[in-house]
Amino acid sequence: MEDGVYILITKDGYRVAYSEDKFIYLYGSFNDDTMAYDLDPVILNDMFGNCAVFPDAKSVLDAAKWISKTVQETVNGIMFIDSYGKYTYEELLNGKANKKLGSN
């Protein structure tokens, strides 16, 4: 089990979620064109779709610490997912981060 508190950083804000097992399924294969791992939009939405959006790192980190205190122990602790900060959450759901460079 890869449980943890995960903070997703996007162009339109910060989201935080606790997940017991979805994180290991979030990433697909490495995309040489984008130089990042492809994201599974279904898993992304399962993890972060119902989360509040925080305006800054301090607010989301405070929320992550609070969530972390509500669970006994996690394997991954608090982890930042920051490779996709140039995309909005909606763009990530639409797979824009997974596309080849130069494609729409």
Question: Which helix H or strand E contains 11, and what residues bound it?
Answer: none
pTM value is 0.85
Each residue's pLDDT tens digit, 57-104? 999 999 999 999 988 788 888 999 998 999 999 999 998 888 765 555
When pLDDT is cut at 50, 70 and 90, the band that residue 15 belongs to is very high
Give the per-residue pLDDT at 85: 93
Each residue's pLDDT tens digit, 21-68? 788 778 888 888 877 788 899 999 999 999 999 999 999 999 999 999
In terms of Cα–Cα distance, which of 80, 82, 93 is closest to 6?
A: 80
In terms of Cα–Cα distance, which of 26, 27, 19 is closest to 2?
A: 19
